[in-house]
Amino acid sequence: MLPYEFPWDKIEKMTYTPQNVEKSSPGKGLDSEGRWWATDVLRPHKRELHLYNVRIDIPDAEPSKSGFTVIHIDQFLKACRHLLPFTCNISGCVWSE
């Protein structure tokens, strides 16, 4: 199976939340919001790494809502910023103990 490729220029919204404060994301598959999550079977469990759940909304794509895990959120945001449209709404919070 090939990984799904997102059209970065079509992303309208990106949010990120530390996994240590979030309890509702599944390890994989469809969640209650209709969002498809990339496989991370340890997502529902407590881990020592500072991991983030990233959600993206792409209205013109299928699936229109997706989620995945990121380890280094600062580096991820810096790397993808030039790929996203200027109008993309990016929001999130940082890791807290």
Q: What would the pLDDT profile of 30-57 be if each residue is shown by its tens digit?
A: 888 888 888 776 666 677 778 898 999 9
Q: Does 70 map to a domain?
A: yes
Which residue range is the domain that position 33 belongs to? 8-92
The enclosing domain of 78 has a CATH number of 3.30.720
| Total domains present in the chain | 1
pTM flag (> 0.85)? no
Quickly list DSSP for 23-53: ----SSEE-TTS-EE---TTTTS--SS--EE
**Between 33 and 24, where is the model more confident?**
33
Residue 97, in any domain of the structure? no
